[in-house]
Amino acid sequence: MITRSKCQRSLLWFLMFHGGATATTEPPSGGKQLSQTPTWAVAIVCTFLILISHLLEKGLQRLANWLWKKQKNSLLEALEKVKAELMILGFISLLLTFGETYILKICVSRKAALSMLPCSSEDAEIFQNLAPSLSIRLSAAGDTPVSCKQGSDPLITLKGLHQLHILLFFLAIFHILYSLITVMLSRLKIRGWKKWEQETLSHDYEFSIDQSRLRLTHETSFVREHTSFWTTVPFFFYVGCFLRQFFVSVGRTEYLTLRHGFISAHLAPGRKFNFQRYIKRSLEDDFKLVVGISPVLWASFVIFLLLNVNGWRTLFWASIPPVLIILAVGTKLQAIMATMALEIVETHAVVQGMPLVRGSDRYFWFDYPQLLLHLIHFSLFQNAFQITHFFWIWYSFGLKSCFHKDFNLVATKLFLCLGALILCSYITLPLYALVTQMGSHMKKAVFDEQMAKALKQWHKDIKLKKGKARKLPSKTLGSSESFSLSSSSFATTLHRSKTTGHSSNVKYFKQEDEEDEEMSSDLEAAGVD
């Protein structure tokens, strides 16, 4: 199941550490070259880098094997995507390293070199004098004088290339950490729904969904919690949905009602189904998109670096849209549940058992539920970049540098990013995983790998049995070897054990050929070939 070869994995970490290690290989003027360095020093440095790379590679390999054994295929694919992103960063670092000789020879006009600076020359000198240890660190990075004609300056210096290497390294590390925190908080939230799923195995739950039990619509818990006098006014409707995501994003009533609607729409009535496990698998499937870095996100990364001009405060203003997007998505998800409750009130005065919500893509923006996931993905990446940029500035230029002249704005930006991380991971993503089940289509995550294989094999057996049945000869008089389709061998009752959900009870039922054919048709309709 592990698709990457050992050579490819080793190349991944070689690229990452080779890029970081060679960022300072160009010595400052008058410094010692490798030919003048003791061999034991070279051997120690190489041994250290190889050991660290090997340990990290083995750690990822063990994690991948553990995910494969636990049959968490979606998380395994997400891990492979993270490794692919690290590979891209490694290649970028490698290109910078081998191309630095040519990059340093590029000269631009003095006017262009002094335009769109992130820090003014005066501020840079003042803050550098306030941090002598930082000056020593930057000097250690070295710099090589470049001969440009009069009136021209280098496109970028060796110190600048070194700092760019560090930024890429920080981006890789914090992207992994941010992704891990996101998935852990989301799974922690969904794990809390397990007690509600176990509740569906009780007799009280069976009584609550009993079709013979009639109740007034406005007396049901789901309708009562999501409808009020304020829901008839659009402004107060959305204000209430906005505030609700901070207090009771998903409660017991919402979970059980949406679960009932999902099973009624996509599965056989009365079937036992572990909805909480399905939601968890669905979230893991969505996580494959969340951990990736698309070309659009890379473009936004470059644009923010371009617009980070002194006095523009671009990074502070850029930290606000991700928070607004996450809040808007959370409000929309709450509004979908409230809209379903209002539709129940409008269409039914009396309900049988539990209120039945009808899922549809029309509840979502542009009838496209996955648009919300793309917005969440964009917001998470921008937050990760903001946090990465803060720590990169702290490491490369010091905490009180020209980038952080107004430290109150920096603290506000960091607070917004951390708040957005917690809000999105613990509230918005789990809420998205639940509410999007009310779309028009069932996600493929409902079938795990083993179940899919079993269904495919069953489907093949049914086709094989039907094919043999057509070819069997009919019994003729005096023949002892041929037999009839109506013989007792085919009239024998087939018993198959069937377990339902979490229940330990085993039911036996008669499986006739007509039911097999019906199941075969259902599997073909579901896309299980």
> Does 495 score more than 60 pLDDT?
no
Query: Residue 458 class from Cβ within 10 Å (0-12 exposed, 13-18 middle, 19+ buried)?
Result: middle
- Mean of pLDDT over the chain: 73
Q: Is the pLDDT of residue 496 over 70?
A: no
Contact 330, 379 (CB under 8 A): no
For residue 529, give the nearest of 451, 460, 454 by alpha carbon.
Answer: 460
In terms of phi and psi (left: phi > 0; alpha: psi -120 to 50; beta: otherwise), the region of 224 is alpha
- Give the Cα separation of 223 and 239 in Å (integer): 18
- The C-alpha atoms of residue 374 and residue 300 are separated, in whole angstroms, by 14
Instruction: Classify residue 152 by its DSSP letter.
Output: E
pLDDT value of position 375: 92
Rounded distance, CA 418 to CA 377, Å? Answer: 16
pLDDT at 331: 92
Element (H, E) at 399: none
What is d(CA 28, CA 13) in angstroms, rounded to the nearest whole number? 27
pLDDT digits (tens, 9 = 90+) for 308-322: 888 788 888 888 899
Residue 345: per-residue pLDDT: 79
Contact 244, 341 (CB under 8 A): no
Nearest CA to 184 out of 421, 435, 1 is that of 421
132 pLDDT exceeds 90? no
Which is nearest to 431 in space by CA: 305, 245, 264? 245
Count of CB atoms situated within 10 Å of the CB of 443: 18
Distance (Å, whole) CA 403 – CA 398: 9
Q: In 3D, which of 63, 355, 411 has the Cα closest to residue 218?
A: 355
Strand (E) or helix (H) holding 32: none
What would the DSSP string read from start to end of 459-512? HHHHHHHHHHHHHPPPP-TT-SS---TTSHHHHSPPEEEEE-TT---EEEEE--
Q: Indicate the helix (H) or strand (E) that contains 344.
A: helix 320-347
In the prediction, which pLDDT does 332 show?
A: 92
Percent with pLDDT over 70 in the chain: 67
For 5-14, what is each residue's pLDDT tens digit?
454 554 555 5
H/E element, 88: helix 73-103
CA distance linking residue 19 with residue 91, whole number of Å: 8
Sole residue written with tokens 């493929």? 444
Nearest to 352 by CA among 221, 240, 213: 213
138, 152, 144, 150: which is closest to 102 by C-alpha?
144
Confidence band of 481 (pLDDT split at 50, 70, 90):
very low
Is the pTM here over 0.85, yes or no?
A: no
Tell me which of 137 and 330 has the higher pLDDT: 330
pLDDT above 80 (res 307): yes
3-state secondary structure of 456: helix
485 pLDDT tier (thresholds 50, 70, 90): very low
Q: How many helices (H) and strands (E) does the chain have?
A: 22, 6
Q: For residue 54, what are the CA distances in angstroms to 7, 10, 17, 75?
A: 12, 8, 11, 22
- C-alpha dist (Å) from residue 380 to 148, 188, 428: 42, 18, 11
Distance CA 38, CA 26 (A): 17
Q: Domain segments of the chain: what residues?
A: 6-165, 179-446, 450-466+507-529
Using the Cα atoms of residue 87, residue 88, residue 89 and residue 95 in order, give the sign of their dihedral: positive
pLDDT tens, position by position, 222-258 = 777 777 777 778 888 888 889 888 887 888 888 888 8
Residue 324 or residue 498, greater confidence: 324
pLDDT for 497 equals: 36
Determine the Cα–Cα distance for residues 245 and 423; give it in Å rounded to an integer. Answer: 9
CB neighbours of 423 closer than 8 A, spacing ≥ 6? 326, 327, 330
pLDDT at 477 over 60: no
State how far Cα 6 lies from the chain centre.
26
pLDDT per residue over 502-517, tens digit each?
333 334 334 444 444 4
Q: Tens digit of pLDDT for each residue in 36-49?
A: 788 888 888 888 88
What three-state secondary structure class fits 135? Answer: helix
- Tokens read off for 227: 């409808």
Question: Average pLDDT for residues 287-297, to the nearest whole number?
Answer: 81
Q: Is the pLDDT of residue 111 over 80?
A: yes
